[in-house]
Amino acid sequence: MLMFMYWGFPIFMFLSGVMIFVFNCKHLLVMLLSLEFMVLSLFMFMVIYLSLFNYEMFFSMLYLTFCVCEGALGLSILVSMIRTHGNDYFNSFSILQC
**CATH code (residue 65):** 1.10.287.3510
Region 69-78 average pLDDT: 90
Given pLDDT bands bounded at 50, 70 and 90, which one contains residue 95?
low
Given pLDDT bands bounded at 50, 70 and 90, which one contains residue 50?
confident
12 inside domain: yes
The amino acid occupying position 38 is M
Range of the domain at 9: 2-85
Domain count, the chain: 1
Given pLDDT bands bounded at 50, 70 and 90, which one contains residue 38?
very high
97 inside domain: no
- Considering only CA atoms, which of 73, 82, 65 is closest in space to residue 32? 73
Residue 97 has pLDDT above 60, yes or no: no
Q: What is the pLDDT of residue 21?
A: 86
The amino acid occupying position 55 is Y
Tell me how far apart the alpha carbons of residues 29 and 81 are, in angstroms, rounded to a whole number. Answer: 11
41 inside domain: yes
Q: Quick check: 28 and 63 in contact, CB under 8 A?
A: no
59 inside domain: yes
19 inside domain: yes
